[in-house]
Structure 1
Amino acid sequence: MHRSTLRWLASAAIAGVAATALAAPTAQAAPDTSFCTDGSQPMVPQSEAVDTFDESTAVTGLTVVKGTTPTEFTGRYTGYLENALGQGVDMLLFTLSGAGIDSGETPAGIWAGMSGSPVYTEDGRLIGAVAYGLSPDNIPVAGVTPADYMKRVGSDRLASPAKVTITKANLEGASRKAESRLVGQSPQRLKTVKVAAGRKDLANRTLARMPRVSASTRAVRAGGFAQVATPSAIPEPLVPGGNIAVGYTTGDLFTGGIGTVTAICGSTVWAFGHPMDFQGETSLSMHNASTALVVPDTTGWSGSYKQVSRIGQQVGTITVDGYAAIRGQLGLIRGFPVVTSVRNASGDLITSYRGTVVDPYMAAYGPSYGAAFAVQDVLDNLGIGTARLSWKIDYRLRSGRTGSLTNSQVYASVGMLADQAATDIGNDVSAIAYTDLADASITRVTSTLTLLGNQAVEYRPAGVQRWNGKAWVKLRGAIVKPHRTLKVRPVYRQYVNDRPRATSTGPVQSFRIGKNAKGRASITLTSLADGPECFEDEDGEMVCPEFEEEAATSFSALLGKLDALIRADRVKATATYAWKVGKQKGVSERRASVKAPGKVTGSHTTTFRVRR
């Protein structure tokens, strides 16, 4: 009796006991033999593969090793691992040849980027998709996800199995030779080749700041994204065996992964043979891609992989990210636009960076990375300079009501300007997109980055001057009379790339000294925006705080807190003086907010005395 029949009989018996009734078993439904409902792509059900295939069963497959045109590879059936992909879902094993798998000076084995490569019988029936390998030993044996379970992705959820080690007990249908070769190996899901447009180090740092709000944001935090060019036109359509790029974000901000198309039925596309992030219902862009070459692993550690030279424009959207495959629709375009305009100190438009955030959970990444990438790309350094960023976030509530938040900030840094520019806009988008106070969706984010120079210019409070009726003089150590208005102005020391330069003064501020004031008094200048910033750890790696969600009790209160962002060029001036009336005495304060010439850090206290 076939193993699949035994499995069916067992489940039928259990169901009968649960119902406490006896019933004659019904006939088993014939297995589905067509992947596409119109019959255009016939397939081999898993049950047929495990029951009838042997080591003489020859197969063919398609994948891309250069450019966009699929190359054929060949292979033979090796065996299967029972329940390796979930209860009742076996992993089919094939020894493959061609497409750089077993040829060249260093054979690549089953390389990352092959995920989704279709495997067919000699008469063209789809068996499944290459999705697992025995890396890092470059063994040419692939684990294949059965086609009938890929077809069902999104309609039933396959349980994520534990790590499987091949043993004589779970390796079935294999010859002694294959058994001796495979026992003890652990099939590993092929890595998705992860790529990001722009600057890979900056992209990985920005991705590491994403809040842990979904499977996709948790996955991208791990980093490992390689650099790729901004998407451009690739006229060739997606085809089975061809490349597919899947993006969280598109355009100048592209971030995503590379794999292979398994099948296309009408406008529906299946790919990978394993999950992207196992998000379930999802929204990811679909693109064609061009392969530069397959890079074989010569170390035994990293695994061989496909190097992509360019990515095409979006042609559709992945809507299901299941355990057996990802699935999407051609022609379906989703996401919200992100535009970062760059101007010089004179206000002239230099360039713009445009993209689309397709995965709503990645809402904070697109706008923050757009600003950060623009800094490095235009200044042509790792992040040294002075800048002002203003932004507008448009959103829509589930009720249909729309709104927007506008904000701005100034920045100066020697090496971290890009990461600083990403912080506040990323925090604002995170707060709106991920709040549980309202069902809010981001609809558009625009920002203007004004680059004021390629040197970091900041200011530190250095003193206070007072007006004595004729000239500005130092306040420190002065004697002033009570019951008078003290006219003062802050003094700043300018620092350029952390080196002290000239001093400058700020706007005039007046403080009223009380009539009973007496004795010691002071004026303290303190930066209002001093707070956590990016820093280098002991290994020299740059570390930045995660994008934060503001705590609030209502959505309107949340917007109010965001709108109250403290600018880095704001200083709190606090005048303090002692007073005495008879036997009573105390201390009074007067406060004011002062605008500095640029980003200001630190504080300074100037003391003086009040005397009649």
Structure 2
Amino acid sequence: MAPPATSLPTADCAVAHPVSDLVGGAPVHGLTVSRGTTPQPFTGEVLGVLSNGIAPGLDMVVAELSSPAIDAAGGIWQGMSGSPVYAEDGRLIGAVAYGLAWGSSPVAGITPFEDMDDFLGAAVAAPRVEVGPRMAARIAAETDVTRAQAGRGLEQLPMPVGVGGVGLARAEKAARARGSTLVDASSTRIGRSGGASAAGIDTVTAGGNVAAVLAHGDVTLAGVGSVTSVCGDRVVAFGHPMGFTGRTRLGLAAADAVYVQPDPLGVPFKVANLGELGGTVTDDRLAGIAGTFGPVPAPTTFTSRVAYAGAARTGTTEILHRSAAADVALFGVLGNHDRVVDGVVGGSQTQTWTITGTHGGESFRLRYADRYRSGSDIGWTGAFDLATVVATLSSSSRTRLDSVRSEITVRDDRRTFKVAKVRQRTGGKWVDVTGGTAKVRAGGTLKLRAVLSGSDGATRTVRRDVRVPKRLQGERGVVSVVGGNVYQDDFWSVRSFDAVRTALRKNLRNDEVELTVSIGGGKDSLERVRRSDPLPRVVGGQKHVRVKVTR
């Protein structure tokens, strides 16, 4: 994506046409883009006005539209939101923003420009606008839409976040697993453009393409719609919210339409590449989005490096809104892994994360490393922990992320260790006490050895000695030996910055073994926790042994 623009698009500073002056049958014309960056004209006529059709005090104009592109697609499309619709005298009626539910239709719901230009509107969502029997009958009489279709109502043209940088099916599955709301099955695919072919910010003119960008680079998350009006360094677009977040800070970018995809089972949609980034979306309101040309939001840089079988790739994404940080971490790791490994395969991987930023004004640097293993899809298995941590950090208003870096080395090795036995050194030899009782004299040393069994038949031992004070004579306890991979979803319950920092420092890695000795109760009890160094394989399984302290 190109650097911030130095020149502004051509302004139109449109004059609003009062909705109260509109009459049924009035001719209209407008501008939109179905391919490239140059707006093309369309025509139509007003069918009527739905009083309070969008929200209390916010009417909706209903019109039937036509052009070669609209006719070819079967109706208006996703990505047409914001396209300006003008009266015969040239005044701006408003923006295409709503369509008939359950399929394509030339009937458009138009958000009045007299409300868009100051972004007034009640703070209530408007997922569907009811169409009364008289309006439904009129729509059916004057278009090829049936009365039943019209009676279902008008709904906001879908504005899902488009995804680039990871396969859509993979992204949808991962987003569902993480609970993301940014990606759904109707997402418009958006590629990443660059170089001389990138659309310049000067193409963000009335009827042209515009994008609200959450992230760009290796992973792209953005919504593409149409410009309603430009005046000075300000632009209004979409005619409906993107996320209805009120004040906001998203990237403002140009876009280049590849084509409009007809959809016989739903609403047609525009496929587009992002162009030059050249401003900030400052408002996400009921009547549309608004932005200012010039500086862009300060980014958080996400970097993913994946190495496998002699190949390596490093990808970078600039995150412009904190709500996208966790999804970028998830899709960035998963997409780069898929690109380098080039297949859904089993294996193992080591990961190292480095996260920098500020919390409460104080700088921080967090580091963590772990090992993952899967018999079927190692990319999937290793993708979620970092995204979970980033989700927690980015959700805090006191935390600002400057950079997130993930380094991954993938191997075909699927071998594992499992905690198989616990042995005690007694009488000069090692005795198997698995499932039994280990006895130790008060004041003596409990000598233990965990035996790890490899999936390939190899064995390994982890030894720990624990001094037992005389005061514990006659007490009982337990020894627990746990492989780190027993505990999954290590970071799901971590909900604060301090908790994240503690978890990254104390979490048991998947390739470590933890041996805990607990004897007695109360203030004189003993608890010793010993952890192995990282092993060359993921370790699963656990064993527990009773302990009795003798005289």
TM-score (norm 2): 0.81
After superposition, give the CA deviation of every residue in 1:91-120 in whole Å (9 maximum; x if it has no partner).
1122111143224xxx52122221111112
Q: Secondary structure at the match of 2:54?
A: coil
Q: Which residue of 2 aligns with 1:324?
A: 287
Query: 1:68 Cα shift?
Result: 2.5
- Flag the 1:465–1:327 CA change in 2: closer, same or farther, 3 A: same
- Flag the 1:466–1:446 CA change in 2: closer, same or farther, 3 A: same
Q: Which runs of 5+ in 2 are unaligned?
A: 1-9
Determine the C-alpha separation between the residues in 1 that align with 2:467 and 2:103: 79
2:305 to 332, 335, 342: 342
Query: 1:126 Cα shift?
Result: 2.1
1:66 to 35, 58, 61: 35
- Flag the 1:474–1:325 CA change in 2: closer, same or farther, 3 A: same
Q: Which residue of 1 aligns with 2:392?
A: 431
Query: 1:209 Cα shift?
Result: 5.5
Determine the C-alpha separation between the residues in 2 that align with 1:225 and 1:174: 29
The 8 Å contact of residues 347 and 411 in structure 2, kept in 1 or not, is answered as yes
The 8 Å contact of residues 199 and 256 in structure 2, kept in 1 or not, is answered as no
- Flag the 1:232–1:490 CA change in 2: closer, same or farther, 3 A: farther
Residue 191 of structure 1 pairs with residue 158 of structure 2: yes
2:421 to 457, 460, 463: 463
Q: Which residue of 2 aligns with 1:572?
A: 514
The 8 Å contact of residues 478 and 519 in structure 2, kept in 1 or not, is answered as yes
Determine the C-alpha separation between the residues in 2 that align with 1:222 and 1:577: 52
Q: Which residue of 2 aligns with 1:14?
A: none
Determine the C-alpha separation between the residues in 1 that align with 2:116 and 2:185: 28
After superposition, give the CA deviation of every residue in 1:215-246 in whole Å (9 maximum; x if it has no partner).
xx6x4265543544334341433222222232
Query: 1:188 Cα shift?
Result: 1.5
The 8 Å contact of residues 104 and 268 in structure 2, kept in 1 or not, is answered as yes
2:270 to 306, 319, 322: 306
The 8 Å contact of residues 354 and 406 in structure 2, kept in 1 or not, is answered as no
After superposition, give the CA deviation of every residue in 1:229-277 in whole Å (9 maximum; x if it has no partner).
3343414332222222322222112112221122222222211111111
The 8 Å contact of residues 131 and 143 in structure 1, kept in 2 or not, is answered as yes
The 8 Å contact of residues 127 and 156 in structure 2, kept in 1 or not, is answered as no
Number of equivalences: 527
Determine the C-alpha separation between the residues in 1 that align with 2:146 and 2:515: 76
Residue 412 of structure 1 pairs with residue 412 of structure 2: no
Query: 1:313 Cα shift?
Result: 4.3
> Where do residues 386-405 of structure 1 align in structure 2 (5 Å cutoff)?
386-398=348-360, 400-405=361-366
- Flag the 1:524–1:158 CA change in 2: closer, same or farther, 3 A: closer
Determine the C-alpha separation between the residues in 2 that align with 1:313 and 1:39: 18
Determine the C-alpha separation between the residues in 1 that align with 2:28 and 2:491: 48
> Where do residues 514-529 of structure 1 align in structure 2 (5 Å cutoff)?
524-528=480-484
Aligned letter for 1:600?
V
Residue 84 of structure 1 pairs with residue 53 of structure 2: yes
> Where do residues 14-413 of structure 1 align in structure 2 (5 Å cutoff)?
40-47=12-19, 50-55=20-25, 57-103=26-72, 107-153=73-119, 157=122, 159-161=124-126, 163-167=128-132, 177=142, 184-197=151-164, 198-208=166-176, 219-220=181-182, 222=184, 224-233=186-195, 234-237=198-201, 238-299=204-265, 302-308=266-272, 310-344=273-307, 350-382=312-344, 384-398=346-360, 400-413=361-374
Aligned letter for 1:51?
D
Determine the C-alpha separation between the residues in 2 that align with 1:452 and 1:39: 52
The 8 Å contact of residues 28 and 44 in structure 2, kept in 1 or not, is answered as yes
Q: Which residue of 1 aligns with 2:4?
A: none
Q: Secondary structure at the match of 2:537?
A: coil
After superposition, give the CA deviation of every residue in 1:149-177 in whole Å (9 maximum; x if it has no partner).
11111x55465457433225678999975
Q: Secondary structure at the match of 1:288?
A: strand
Determine the C-alpha separation between the residues in 2 that align with 1:610 and 1:257: 67
Query: 1:491 Cα shift?
Result: 3.1
Q: Which residue of 1 aligns with 2:3?
A: none
Query: 1:343 Cα shift?
Result: 4.9
Determine the C-alpha separation between the residues in 1 that align with 2:341 and 2:28: 54
- Flag the 1:81–1:341 CA change in 2: closer, same or farther, 3 A: closer
- Flag the 1:272–1:170 CA change in 2: closer, same or farther, 3 A: same
The 8 Å contact of residues 424 and 433 in structure 2, kept in 1 or not, is answered as no
Aligned letter for 2:57?
G
Q: Which runs of 5+ in 1 are unaligned?
A: 1-37, 212-216, 495-499, 534-544, 579-586
Percent of aligned pairs with the same residue? 26
Determine the C-alpha separation between the residues in 2 that align with 1:576 and 1:132: 65
After superposition, give the CA deviation of every residue in 1:486-535 in whole Å (9 maximum; x if it has no partner).
766533233xxxxx3231314543355889999x99965212453345xx
Q: Which residue of 2 aligns with 1:550?
A: 495
Residue 440 of structure 1 pairs with residue 398 of structure 2: yes
Aligned letter for 1:445?
S
After superposition, give the CA deviation of every residue in 1:365-424 in whole Å (9 maximum; x if it has no partner).
2223322322222222236331222222223245x3322322222211234533443333
The 8 Å contact of residues 171 and 179 in structure 1, kept in 2 or not, is answered as no
2:456 to 476, 492, 501: 501
After superposition, give the CA deviation of every residue in 1:69-100 in whole Å (9 maximum; x if it has no partner).
22221112222111102233221122111143
